[in-house]
Amino acid sequence: MTHNILLVGRSCNEGLEGLFIEAFKALGNKILCLGYQELLPIKNNLLKLLTRQSLVRNTYIRELIISTSSALKKYNEHILTLADKYDIDIIFIIKGEAVSIETIKLLATEFANSALIYLNPDDPRYVRTLSYIYMLHEFTIYTPCKKCMHFMRKFSNKVYHLPFAVSHQKLLYPRTPDKRGKFILLIGSLYPNRLRIIKKILKKFGKKVPVAVAGPFWNYVFLRKKYQGIYGKKYANITNLALITLNIHHTNDIGFKANMRLYEIPGMGGFEITDNYDIVKEYYD
């Protein structure tokens, strides 16, 4: 049985949204996707980050930004219009930082015949500013954070654990063994704990072992190799070429959940070194 699915997220062209679109299509479903990043008239990456962080960190600031941004108001209008026009069976919201509380309420009341599903991939971050809002309405909640479920179930009985997973058929690309490089790769956005690790490696090995980073906002750090916004085959090829790929979790994830890269790196043939042992051992022997 196929479904008409409306996927609402940050972007329809990359990241977790892109992987879900591929997976849903592979099952024969029809997908409509709406991403607010494509609507925002902001070209500067730093401004994009500041806007995104403002949307997720405080509920009142979030509602203020949405109400004063013509692009985000249009985004919220599009959600309701598409859901109504295309006879949508499933409305699937990922993170939902640009969806207003008014839109959430309208979805819950006017689209009762559609399955309303919410996933915040960043739980336990933003549980109280984002996930909490959806728990008060007619949504089924999925979270990668098993330990967050106790808090969430105080408000909703439709909460389920959904750890990340990847299809190695999608991620594993052919590699010539003798082309593996001699550099250490760190994948992920610039965060203080990741920067500390990079500094320690550089102090220990200097120029003997080159270090590369792949992810947003590293352009403000002096390193020879930097890759911005890599996805798909390019992401896999760089991981294949690295001698070691470091996966350093966000500090708020430690002891709560594994990130997507835990599965992506070995799925792409990379040699992964990671932290967050108590969570990792739940999924790897």
Distance between CA 242 and CA 270 in Å, rounded?
7
Grade residue 45 by pLDDT with cuts at 50, 70 and 90.
low
pTM: 0.87
pLDDT of residue 114: 93
Q: DSSP letters of 231-273?
A: -HHHHHHHHHH-SEEEE---GGGTTT---THHHHHHHTT--EE
| pLDDT tens digits along 66-124 | 998 888 999 999 999 999 999 999 999 999 999 999 999 999 999 988 999 999 999 99
Range 151-170 average pLDDT: 83
Instruction: Look up residue 248 and give its amino acid.
Output: I
Is pLDDT above 60 for 46?
no
List Cβ neighbours of 90 (8 Å cut-off, separation of 6 or more): 3, 4, 5, 6, 114, 115, 117
Distance between CA 78 and CA 80 in Å, rounded?
5
Which helix (H) or strand (E) segment is 11 a member of? Answer: none
Name the average pLDDT for the chain: 86
Which helix (H) or strand (E) segment is 121 a member of? Answer: none
pLDDT of residue 176: 52
Question: What burial class does residue 124 get, using C-beta atoms within 10 Å of its C-beta: 0-12 exposed, 13-18 middle, 19+ buried?
Answer: buried
> Of the given ranges (7-11, 73-77, 134-138), which has the lowest mean pLDDT?
134-138
Grade residue 245 by pLDDT with cuts at 50, 70 and 90.
very high
